Structure 1
Amino acid sequence: MTRMTIVGKARYVFGSVIMIGVAPEYLAIWLVWRGASLVFPSWIYQWGDDKLYSLYQRLVLFFFETCTNLEVVLYGDAVDALKKRESVLYLANHQSTVDWLVADMISVRGGSLGHLRYVMKDTLQLMPLYGHYFYAHGCIYVKRGKFSQNKMIEALDYLRHPKIPTWLVIFPEGTRYYPGNPDVIQKAEQYAKDNNLPVLKHHLVPKTRGMWLVSRQLHDKIDAIYDVSVFYDGTVNKQGIRGNAPQLIDFLMGKCKKVHVHIRRIPMSEVPMEEEKVGKWLHQLYREKDELAENFFTPDSEKRNNVEKLLNGHKSSLNLWSTLSSFLFFSVLSVPFLCTKVGRQMYVNLLLYGSLGSYGWLVIRNVC
């Protein structure tokens, strides 16, 4: 076993224990803020909650970016767009369980990490403590095959508030493009042929209903769409064949050394509101994303190796303190929970009753 493998496994175990283990402590802070903010308007609660969310996600980035020494390369409009402070519809390709973390990496560089909210599959409600918290943060749960338009509209209406800045993350493909599961890819290709849609080489057919609802409900709130295309280094083998993108464990193990992120900023005023037009617009967007992907998934190794130069890539590094400070905060916070009898009892109660309470709340609210 090489030294790199040992370090990677240690980082995976230690990082996982910390990121999951601080959940009850994070819940305790959130409950205090939630109670204290009940007498104030919703946007004040959301302001404080966004600060807390940013604090925790910086802890996540400490392990996934800082400790792995990950290199992030930005392309397109990324550098200029991230200087803005605006509400955004973050629309990205989907190929890995790490994709949501890349949204962390991009938004933190734009000073908007706390404003991230996701359109998420309903099974993520089952996550202890966090399942409920994500909804309270402004994320939107949707069911595959039983999509509730009214539920999504209700959630989107909350985000319309002018004092609640938002980066709403949508993966229109719904399912990950995963070469290891060719049946999904073949079904998408057949669906495209049957419905006279473009057959995509590097993406699944995007679903339009969620995108249309967001466009209709938040057209006046969202400043721009960030059309994000993510490419993980090492996905193509020596024979030029595309393989599976790295997943969460691979990432923590340090098996992905570089992430390429291309952003195209599209003013919301250019996005249609009618459902049929949104569908055509989205499919055309994915045809263009497919063309861009050819630069990264091409069998031409020389072209892949020179892609940064060809597309004018810019390496972007995080300040160490921006993530280390969060790790130190949660480390100090853990001391009274772990080293005192009262703290340990509180920890267990928060984990047990917090999980049961959050599940019950989600069932009663029937959020999707």
Structure 2
Amino acid sequence: MAQLLDGAGELGWVLLKSAIRFVFMVLNNCVAIPSYCCYMLLLQPLRLWDSTMFWHVEGFMFQWLLAMVSTWGWIAGYTVTEWGDDVRPVTEEEAMVIVNHQSTGDVCTLMMCLQDKGTVVQKMMWLMDHVFKYTNFGLVSLIHGDFFIRQGKAYRDKQLIYLKDHLDKYYNSRDRKWIVLFPEGGFLRKRRETSQLFAKKNSLPHLNHVTLPRLGATHVILKTLSAQQENGSVSSDVGTLKQTANKRKGLQWVIDVTIAYPKARPMDIQTWIFGYRPPTVTHVHYRMYPIKEVPVEAQALTDWLYQRFVDKEKLMAHFYDTGSFPRPEGQKEAVSRPMTLDPVWLCIIQLCAFASGYMWYSVLQYLYCCLF
């Protein structure tokens, strides 16, 4: 009987915490996102006068919004441990970031683990499924200049044309540095069976922890944002590039990011919101490839990209067997780095969000009273 009461009490506490978190996040969204939109509207004269400064300010506020999402996981004990290459030295260089995709929580994980990587979050462009356009964060992503891609054979060719036009229009003009995409084109649980059937039919590796990536968006990004050499690879030599007015070098790196969850249990956005899972450490592995090593010709790029996901499969299999990623070649052991966030900074961001929400509410209420 005592055990039953203890279990009921524990369940009640979990439900209470989840309800409090949900209310807090609803309020958080109700003040932060409208405030961001109001600031963007107010700063339109600055956009006409000095677009570089406008997008610098927008990027600063965009990072704060992503930090608010990070707060949701941080206060629930959802943290990140990083492995592999240290990407911080290249955060001011242009890079294409390819990530495996298991759940909606992957985006939240990236929002968290990139917070301490300089200004990269401010200058990042995301490629996301078009359904995210209709979420609470969709309007922010539209203003920021992210690209929403529609899946399916019926849309594929047109979407790639739209992507190229989008990159031409927004990537350089808004001083973007990293572009993030999920080449698998969907969640692992939804695509695994189809991917395995395709692999068997075409004598390709059988994968369990990832699926075979799709080439289209990756190919468009490389062709659009990098210069092509005679050998079919892309160049990082500034002298061979078609320069823009501000002498951008184009893509310098491909950063291969592998996300692994303990016991292969992905974190979804519902877990981040309600916090019903016990404190969990998500593990993120980075590997950097100089852009000159990446082929751009379609078949060679397909083989190269497939090999990256075969490597991901090995990394994740090792992690699920041992609890850690394998040591890099030439090193005696694998070294992990706990990713940390400053709680004082997170509190300041939240206070600023609620203060901004109150200010805009007061301003709009005053205007409404004056007009009506």
User: What is the identity percentage for the equivalent residue pairs of Structure 1 and Structure 2?
Assistant: 20
Residues 1:91 and 2:101 aligned together: no
Change (3 A) 1:337 1:133: closer
2:79 aligned partner: 71
The count of residues paired between Structure 1 and Structure 2 equals 325
Query: Match of 2:206, SS?
Result: coil
In structure 2, do the counterparts of structure 1 residues 328 and 185 end up closer, same or farther at CA, with 3 Å as the change threshold?
Answer: same
Which of 241, 249, 255 is the matching residue for 2:270? Answer: 249
Identify unmatched segments of 5+ residues in structure 1.
237-241, 347-368
* Paired amino acid for 1:170: L
1:248-275 deviation line (CA, Å, top 9, x unaligned)? 1212333152111100111112111112
1:55 aligns with 2:55: no
> Alignment partner of 1:83: what SS?
helix
2:134 aligns with one of 115, 120, 126:
126
- Give me the whole-angstrom Cα distance separating, in 2, the residues matched to 1:187 and 1:47: 42
Secondary structure at the residue paired with 2:97? strand
Q: Secondary structure in 2 aligned to 1:273? A: coil
Give matches, 1:1-368, under 5 Å. Answer: 1-2=9-10, 3-41=13-51, 43-65=52-74, 67-77=75-85, 80-84=86-90, 85-111=92-118, 112-127=120-135, 130-145=137-152, 146-147=155-156, 148=158, 149-161=160-172, 164-178=175-189, 184-220=191-227, 221-233=250-262, 236=263, 242=264, 244-254=265-275, 255=277, 256-298=279-321, 303-304=322-323, 311-338=334-361, 342=365
- Separation in 1, partners of 2:366, 2:194: 52
For the residue of structure 1 that corresponds to 2:148, the secondary structure is strand
Instruction: Indicate the residue corresponding to 2:239 in structure 1.
Output: none
Superposed displacement of residue 316, structure 1: 2.0
Say if 1:225 and 1:267, in contact at 8 Å, map to a contact too.
yes
Stretch deviating more after TM superposition (86-95 or 43-52): 43-52
SS in 1 for 2:63: helix
Report Cα offsets for 1:175-217 as digits up to 9, x if no partner: 1112xx5xx3211110111223222121111101111111111
Cα pair distance change 1:334/1:197, threshold 3 Å: same
| 1:48-102: CA deviation from partner (whole Å, max 9, x where unpaired) | 221121121122222222x12333211000xx32133222211101001111122
Instruction: Give the Cα–Cα distance (whole angstroms) in 2 for the partners of residues 327 and 89 of structure 1.
Output: 31
- TM-score, with structure 2 as normaliser: 0.79
How far off its partner does 1:321 sit? Answer: 2.9
> What is the distance in 2 between the residues matched to 1:106 and 1:50?
17
CA distance in 2, matches of 1:55, 1:95: 25
Give, in whole Å, the separation in 2 of the partners of 1:266 and 1:140: 24
Specify the SS of the correspondent of 2:172: coil
- Higher mean Cα deviation, 167-176 or 117-126? 117-126
Q: Note if contact 2:211-2:309 (Cα within 8 Å) is conserved in structure 1.
A: no
Structure 1 position 314, deviation (Å) = 1.7
More displaced stretch, 4-13 vs 337-346: 337-346
User: How far apart are the structure 1 equivalents of 2:283 and 2:203?
Assistant: 31
- Distance change in 2, residues 1:344/1:11 (3 Å): farther
1:359 corresponding residue in structure 2:
none
Cα distance, 1:115 vs. partner? 1.7
In structure 2, the CA distance between the partners of 1:70 and 1:131, relative to structure 1 (3 Å rule), is: closer
Q: Which has the larger radius of gyration?
A: 2
- The answer to whether the Cα contact below 8 Å between 2:73 and 2:79 also exists between their aligned partners in 1 is no
Query: In structure 2, do the counterparts of structure 1 residues 20 and 288 end up closer, same or farther at CA, with 3 Å as the change threshold?
Result: farther
Deviations 1:330-363 (A, max 9, x none): 11112234567716969xxxxxxxxxxxxxxxxx
Q: Which amino acid aligns with 1:263?
A: Y
Give the TM-score normalised by the residue count of structure 1.
Answer: 0.80
SS at match of 2:251: coil
Q: Which residue number corresponds to residue 364 of structure 1?
A: none
CA RMSD of aligned residues (A): 2.6
CA contact (8 A) 1:59 1:324 kept: no
Aligned CA distance change for structure 1 residues 307 and 14 (closer, same or farther; 3 Å): farther
1: CA distance, partners of 2:335 / 2:267: 24
State the one-letter code of the partner of 1:126.
Answer: Y
The answer to whether the Cα contact below 8 Å between 2:82 and 2:336 also exists between their aligned partners in 1 is yes
Is the Cα contact below 8 Å between 1:90 and 1:226 reproduced in 2? yes
Match of 1:71, as an amino acid? T
